[in-house]
Every structure is written in structure tokens, then in C-alpha cells.
Amino acid sequence: MAEELKIGVLASGRGSNFQAIIDAVTAGKINAKIAVCISDVKDAYALERARKNLIAAEVIDPKVFQKREDYDGKIVETLKKHEVNLVLLAGYMRIVSPVLVEEFPKKIINIHPALLPSFPGLHVQRKAIEHGARFSGCTVHFVDAGMDTGPIIIQAVVPVLQDDTEDSLAARILKQEHRIYPEAVRLFAEGRLSVQGRRVVIKGAPECRDEFLANPPVRE
Ligand code: GRF
């Protein structure tokens, strides 16, 4: 029998993407258990969401550690304690070091609120507007040693409107994040993702192309 999928979530903030994953697991769309939510921020609302759903919630305070590697060592230890075999970054505001990445190769997934490789890093909704991009969106990708550089699993596109503010664009993108992040985790859970070089191949996936068609970039 295949090993049970046990998800560990790393989150620093409100955790709405985490909630989307919780909802998909609860609805039986993702065959997995969410074993733990770990945060670097003690009052992150994501922790509250974990507790409400009887998921272990742990805070690991970065200030206690001298180096990022030491901090990530503690994260690895905690994930292992909960027997995690898939790590989801959900609004996790720290750069992960090789200590974490090498322990979970192709088993760490992130959601980013732009169409990578455009606009990696922070404040990317603002950057997309300021750059004059006509479209932006979100990207679910595997995490590698770089920043927002890992193989892309799913993307969704939204228009950037002339009167958009950072907040209005972020809200439009977030709606799509909540749709594609659980979808990517479902594909992982079903063993349908394989990484070939930079590319992620999705087994038996007409929805790969439908993904774009189902999400045409029209004005809401
Ligand atoms: C999302 O926009 C995500 O793409 C980015 O940080 C934000 C987190 O939001 N990495 P939430 O905590 O999931 O609500």
C-alpha cells in the first residue's frame, strides 16, 4: 500500500491558502492528512485555523536561532516528528535554506502571486501594476534552492485592469490561488506529478490545457 500522505504547512500570516487546503482535504478532494502547521510568527492566524481544525500548531521563533540553517534544522526536526512527507509553503515569509530543501527534494510546494518567472520576490502585485503588465496571476511550483525558481506545476491568469490597486489585483489573484493550490496538491497526492528537468509533467491531464480555458482572462 502506498505511504499515507502527511502534509506539513509552513505559514506566516492569515493562512487563507492553508484554509483552502484544509477545505479540500475535509471535502475528500485530497487524500491526505494535514499533520502540522508551523509558523515563525506566534500570532499568525494560520495557527488559529490549525487549532480550529484539530491540526497540531507549532511556533518556531527565528530569534532563538543564530543562523537560517539552524532555524531550518529545527523546522526539519519538527516536520519529521510529525512524519511529514509533503511540505506546503502557504504565505511563508522566510527564504528556505538548502537544509530544508535537501531534506524534502521535490516535496516542497509553494504558491506565488505572480506568473513566474515574472515578478519573483515580494510585493509582486504592486510590481506587476507598476510594470504595466496586462496580465498577472499565480503560480504553484516546487521549491528548489533559488527564490521562486522551482519547476512550475499550475498557473492561473488574471487581467490587470487600468484602475487596479495593489489590493484589488491581490484579491483577484487570491481567488485563483485558492483554486489552483488545492488542485496542485491533489495532483501530487494522486502521484500524477513528475519533474523532468525544469518541466513538470502531469499524468493523464487534459485539464492541463483546460486549466487555461477554464480560466479565461476576462473582466469580472
Ligand atoms: C498569498 O498571496 C501567497 O501567494 C503568498 O502570500 C500570500 C499568503 O496569503 N505567498 P495567505 O496567508 O495564504 O492568506
* 82 shares its domain with 119: no
pLDDT > 70 in the chain, percent: 92
Residues 94, 120, single domain; the answer is: no
- Same domain membership, residue 129 and residue 101: no
Q: Are residues 1 and 43 in the same domain?
A: yes
* Helix, strand, or coil (residue 9): strand
Amino acid occupying residue 17: N
Ligand 1: distance of its center to the CA of 13 in Å? 8
What is the number of alpha carbons within 13 Å of residue 39 lying toward its C-beta? 22
Per-residue confidence (pLDDT) for residue 211, from 0 to 100: 53
Give me the torsion for CA of 157, 161, 167, 171, rounded to 10°. Answer: -40
d(CA 197, CA 27): 33
Q: Whose CA is closest to atom 12 on ligand 1? A: 15
116 shares a domain with 100:
no
pLDDT at 206: 58
Residue 209: pLDDT band (50, 70, 90) is low
pLDDT of residue 1: 58
Share of the chain above pLDDT 90, in %: 91
pLDDT at 215: 54
Domain count, the chain: 2
Higher pLDDT, 218 or 71: 71
Do 214 and 120 lie in a common domain? yes
Report how far ligand 1's centroid is from the alpha carbon of 12 (Å).
9
Residues 7 and 58 in one domain: yes
pLDDT in tens, 60-74: 999 999 999 999 999
The string of pLDDT tens digits covering residues 87-117 is 999 999 999 999 999 999 999 999 999 999 9
What pLDDT digit, counting tens, does each position of 4-13 carry? 999 999 999 9
Q: How confident is the model at residue 3 (pLDDT cuts 50, 70, 90)?
A: confident
Q: CA-CA distance, 135 to 114, in Å (whole number)?
A: 9
Classify 85 as helix, strand or coil. Answer: coil
With a 6 Å cutoff on the Cβ, whether 14 touches ligand 1 is yes
3-state helix, strand, coil in the chain (%, to 5): 35, 20, 40
At 52, is the pLDDT very low, low, confident or very high (cuts 50, 70, 90)? very high
Ligand 1 center–CA 2 separation, angstroms: 31
Q: Nearest-CA neighbor of 31 among 47, 15, 7?
A: 7
Residues 220 and 121 placed together within one structural domain of the fold: yes
Ligand 1 closest atom vs CA 177: 4
> Do residues 165 and 184 share a domain?
yes
Last residue of a domain, one of 61, 85, 105: 105
Q: Which of 62, 77, 105 is the last residue of a domain?
A: 105
Residues 210 and 151 in one domain: yes
- Residue 216: predicted pLDDT: 47
123 and 71 part of one domain: no
Give the CATH number for residue 115: 3.40.50.170
Is residue 140 located within the same domain as residue 90? Answer: no
Q: Are 184 and 153 in contact (CB under 8 A)?
A: yes
Tell me which residue range forms the domain holding 44: 1-105
Taking residues 31-40, report their average pLDDT. Answer: 98
